[in-house]
Structure 1
């Protein structure tokens, strides 16, 4: 039986709810939970209005408390569930800062922390007066230095293109036998960095490609790891699952036609070549669209946003998201597991177009839990008692 793990996302908008979520996910038998280290979302504020998003009267789409503090609080109020921040960028903080923070979180969680790194997205830099220069060089070198510092038992010297260390000291030891794993997010060069220096790779599915495309990426990463003298079978293959999980076909049809999700489905596209291969439309933002480079939600007027939405048919949403009932979504995800995916972080984006109230949020999470239960069943994994109970009751909280 493969060690396939399933995770959920903590609350970024409410500290108390985040603590409750950590305890709930642990009780239900989830393997891990994560927080993205972000300042805002990709959905334009200009359409986060009650006429389009009823939840806008309950919470602000761009409210994001600090992921590290939320993770630390969850660590203090849980015992078993693994915890990760996915992903951090290599520009807003230096590698020595990360090494210290990772080791601290390793001890706070008693060995349950894992660390995600990526090249970063322009929405977290430009609005705050930061430049996104040489992001992949920063990423590669940051991981090298983090590992050097966390593995060293004395002063470390290093000379690189971005940072240099001169007898730098990081003598805090890992909680266990080794430092927490580092997973790298992104396509292209990030895949090679993951293979050569990290402990796993993160992507977004299904937006980043179909199962055959994903299988080819997994094989390529394993080849690069082997060429670098590393054990390819030790790598973790993690995906953020962009889900639209609904209770019925009618609800799914309404969701894939929703204007907010039609915009989000073309904003969160990691590889425009994959998008173009669908043969539905040319990318409506720009032909060479790059998610990390091109989307800043506050730059979008309501008029421009609605004009783009008008170009996006629901068939695009169905390709960019795992859509349907829990059984239908499980059917769509199983081929990725067969292709090598072993960590699934399933997010139900349908919650963004709900009322925003507690009952709707709980129902949305219950659909995720049922999807996980079905996948565990299909892959011969035991069903945790808490997960079976949540699925049977139809309530997540």
Structure 2
């Protein structure tokens, strides 16, 4: 592992009460000297209320509902004075519920509250946060493209802003707030398809996918991002190749495999990309054309439907999808393979913490150990275990 292939590590944690739990996660991340912490921007969870019970997760005994979330902008302001040298960001928001000028103002404000430039993770949007609330989800990619242009203008333009697009119009609109010196927020685009990858190359400071399955796929899509950057006259090397990864980690491979069979992890596997279902030779339980990353709206599915869908998830979709799983050493080996494909920053979201309190504590501890291993320049810590592809 060369200096150029070191991978920095961040931690994603939810924006759900109680606040003292979030403080504890933040203190843990600081103690582990992680590089970043990312909060999420949700109105509701991927788990429908219809299956929210102790049969799914031990947390159901602690929380009456899965759909209780703090506003990420207010929470980020609270966390800003507590993150120390870590970077603070959102992963991810979208410009449908929030106007791009409002997003830009919030991120520029955050830049004045933190020691390092904040990260604005942004995507095209998910229907679970849009449809039930009456937001128009039409033409999300073209809307995002306009939003990215406006956000850039807010970060850099002196004087009133004029912009005339299909979705947004600004007429001599003042936005005189500017980022703190040396801490211009970075825009990380959550891109997977061709149009979104092009946007990441043209407008992004980082590329932040979530459902890329293999290092080969990562390298191919990163090449598309960089090609779009070159075509736009930008330096492709200035774009941070990042990755969001849900993780199941345990002291041994056997224990990790056992967690893959739990109901809560299998429920997460319902979010695997359509291509993976096709490779497994089956259709998604919710339809051949169903794209779970975009189309899933939890409230539309009753308990019987959800339980049947979870039971129908093939083992290959759980084990071979975007879920990162295994022992700590195996997780490090898999991430190093992504590093060889270009990855430079990974944000880990340990879903094994949903299985049991013991697994939650181990996941947090393991995240720190994984980060320390990935900072090393050689795999001399026993991380040469077989990759889990």
Structure 1 residue 260: deviation in Å? 2.2
Q: Tell whether the 8 Å contact from 1:257 to 1:313 is kept in structure 2 after alignment.
A: no
**2:194 is the alignment partner of 1:191:** no
Q: Distance in 2 between matches of 1:31 and 1:95?
A: 26
1:200 maps to 206
Distance in 1 of aligned mates of 2:104 and 2:58: 41
Cα drift, residue 27 of structure 1: 2.5
What's the offset of the Cα at 1:275? 3.7
Select which of 184, 193, 199 maps to 1:179: 184
User: SS of the residue aligned with 1:345?
Assistant: strand
**Contact preservation (8 Å) 1:284, 1:311:** yes
Aligned counterparts, 1:272-287, within 5 A: 272-277=274-279, 279-287=280-288
| Structure 1: unaligned runs, 5 residues or longer | 384-397
Q: Do 1:19 and 1:73's aligned partners in 2 also have CA atoms closer than 8 Å?
A: no
Structure 2 equivalent of residue 241 of structure 1: 245
Alignment equivalent of 1:346, drawn from 345, 348, 355: 348
Compute the displacement of 1:363 (Å).
2.2
Equivalent residue of 1:103, what SS?
Answer: helix
CA displacement at 1:63 relative to structure 2:
2.2
1:4 aligns with 2:7: yes
| 2:374 aligned residue | 375
SS of the equivalent of 2:10 reads strand
- Is the counterpart of residue 167 in structure 1 residue 166 in structure 2? no
Asked if 1:99 corresponds to 2:101, the answer is no
Counterpart Cα distance in 1 of 2:281 and 2:247: 20
Tell me the SS of whatever aligns to 2:313: coil
Task: Determine the structure 2 residue equivalent to 1:323.
Answer: 325
Residue 83 (structure 2) pairs with residue 81 (structure 1): no
TM-score by length of 1: 0.89
Question: After the TM superposition, which of the residue ranges 326-335 and 229-238 deviates more from structure 2?
Answer: 326-335
**Measured at CA, do residues 52 and 160 of structure 1 come closer, stay the same or move farther in structure 2, by a change above 3 Å?**
closer
Whole-angstrom CA distance in 2 between matches of 1:67 and 1:56 = 22
Structure 1 position 376, deviation (Å): 2.2
Deviates more, 1:12-21 or 1:119-128: 12-21
Spell out the pairing of 1:149-160 with structure 2 (5 A cutoff).
149-160=154-165
Match of 2:42 in 1: 38
Q: How is 1:374-393 mapped onto 2 (pairs within 5 angstroms)?
A: 374-377=373-376
Q: What's the C-alpha RMSD, in Å, of the aligned pairs?
A: 2.0
Task: Normalising by structure 2, report the TM-score.
Answer: 0.91
Distance in 2 separating the partners of 1:96 and 1:373:
38
Q: Distance in 2 between matches of 1:347 and 1:292?
A: 16
Is the CA contact (8 Å cut-off) linking 2:86 and 2:116 kept in structure 1?
Answer: no
Are the equivalent residues in 2 in contact too, given 1:11–1:21 (CA < 8 A)? no
Say whether the 8 Å CA contact 2:118–2:183 is kept in structure 1: no
SS at match of 2:198: helix
Q: Give 1:378 deviation, angstroms.
A: 5.1
1:58 matched to 2:62: yes
1:235-314 aligned within 5 A = 235-266=239-270, 268-269=271-272, 271-277=273-279, 279-314=280-315
The answer to whether the 8 A contact 2:248-2:352 is kept is: yes
Q: Is the 8 A contact 1:80 1:112 kept in 2?
A: no
Structure 2 CA distance for aligned equivalents of residues 187 and 65 of structure 1: 27
> Are residues 1:231 and 2:232 paired?
no
Cα offset for 1:318? 0.8
Structure 1 position 22, deviation (Å): 2.2
- Which range moves more in the overlay, 370-379 or 57-66? 370-379
Query: Structure 2 unaligned runs (5+)?
Result: 382-389
Q: 1:222 aligns with which of 221, 226, 233?
A: 226
Q: Distance between the aligned counterparts of 2:329 and 2:276, measured in 1?
A: 25
Deviation at 1:292, TM superposition (A): 3.8
Q: 1:360 to 1:328 in 2, by over 3 A?
A: closer
Counterparts of 1:378 and 1:285, CA distance in 2: 44
Q: C-alpha distance in 1, partners of 2:264/2:28?
A: 29
- Superposition deviation, residue 178 in structure 1: 5.9
Q: Deviation of residue 335 (structure 1)?
A: 1.1
Structure 1 residue 232, shift from structure 2 partner? 0.4
Q: 1:274 to 1:315 in 2, by over 3 A?
A: closer
The Cα of 1:332 is off from its aligned counterpart by 1.7
How many aligned residue pairs are there? 374
